[in-house]
Structure 1
């Protein structure tokens, strides 16, 4: 059956939390308070549904956020206009079935209207070659490495240029046309609502 990518619903947060904390070492655990902060403040928080069940989720934020993550800060110290994928999780039984690609296609269609680049990180400890290969195939490249001071995990910091953005920005600026397929951010970001979080990508 087809994959449906849509905004998360509040009653699904417990299921999202369970998916996150069952993802393995590629994703650091969340608690309900941190997840709720994402729900309240992340401009992109979407789930994938397949065969009527949740198959994964992706959370993304823009560079203007005050998100408290050492990896996010690493990017913000070096880049001025980017959309940061804080975490992507695909249920183990759905990996390799196209859910990750569906998420990234959807996230890029959102980001390229608003940002010059997409950013994310992949943990290097423990062997994450399949995840690195996935990101490389999707156009990401390594721009550095960062060791998270709290978790002591080394991450490859990845970026992807969004080639459509310069023309879109020059033509429309911040006044994007009100079209059905031009999704608006979920929420107006409230920086004060963010709590310290740890990140990662797990496909």
Structure 2
């Protein structure tokens, strides 16, 4: 009954699209072309499996990406370097079973050696107290609010400082050790592989 977090596979995009669009008003709907763009450009795009079934996904972008979300651009105006969680979706039958916490542990492990800050948002209008409580319990705090021009939905903008980043950056700079748990599995270049800093 363990949860497996792994990189997405292209043949799973139809299932992920259905999962996203069944999530309700707290997640913006997607179409197939935008999801494919996520697949092609996201620095982090992973799925959760439990008992061999797809139970959720998380998509994230580094601050130097060209991601076109207005929430991402809001964070880009406020902060120099951050890792942005665009969306996390967990199948309704699996909510409360630890999938969200497994995703956040995984994405934090990825981000904290590459970025000083984890950023995301939670919609305010849709009685989303469970999501706000989840993020607060995970160490996020509100740094502002933003009304998304494309939807007129107000979002609570959240960040979490990644305390390991400063030590890792001081010790290793842009060259992380070549160990399996740090090795990138996606084909996209990340800050640890670029010659410029984050």
With structure 1 as the length reference, what TM-score do the two structures score? 0.92
Distance 1:30 1:103 in 2: 20
The CA deviation string for residues 26-81 of structure 1, in whole angstroms up to 9 with x for no partner, is 00100000000000110100000001100000000100011111100000000011
Residue 124 (structure 1) aligns with? 124
- Cα deviation, residue 187, structure 1: 2.9
Distance 2:99 2:188 in 1: 27
- Cα deviation, residue 126, structure 1: 1.8
RMSD value, Cα: 1.1
The CA deviation string for residues 7-30 of structure 1, in whole angstroms up to 9 with x for no partner, is 000110000000000000000100
- Cα deviation, residue 129, structure 1: 0.4
1:63-102 to 2 correspondences below 5 Å: 63-102=63-102
2:149 is the counterpart of 1:149: yes
Distance 1:38 1:57 in 2: 12
- Alpha-carbon contact 1:42-1:187 (below 8 Å) kept: no
Distance 1:37 1:149 in 2: 21
Distance 1:32 1:187 in 2: 21
- Alpha-carbon contact 1:142-1:157 (below 8 Å) kept: yes
Which structure 1 residue ranges, 5 or more long, are not aligned? 190-203
Distance 1:175 1:161 in 2: 21
Distance 2:53 2:188 in 1: 29
With structure 2 as the length reference, what TM-score do the two structures score? 0.94
Which structure 2 residue ranges, 5 or more long, are not aligned? 190-198
Residue 200 (structure 1) aligns with? none
- Alpha-carbon contact 1:40-1:187 (below 8 Å) kept: no
1:1-203 to 2 correspondences below 5 Å: 1-184=1-184, 186-188=186-188
Distance 1:164 1:178 in 2: 18
Q: How many residues align?
A: 190
What's the secondary structure of 2:66's corresponding residue?
coil
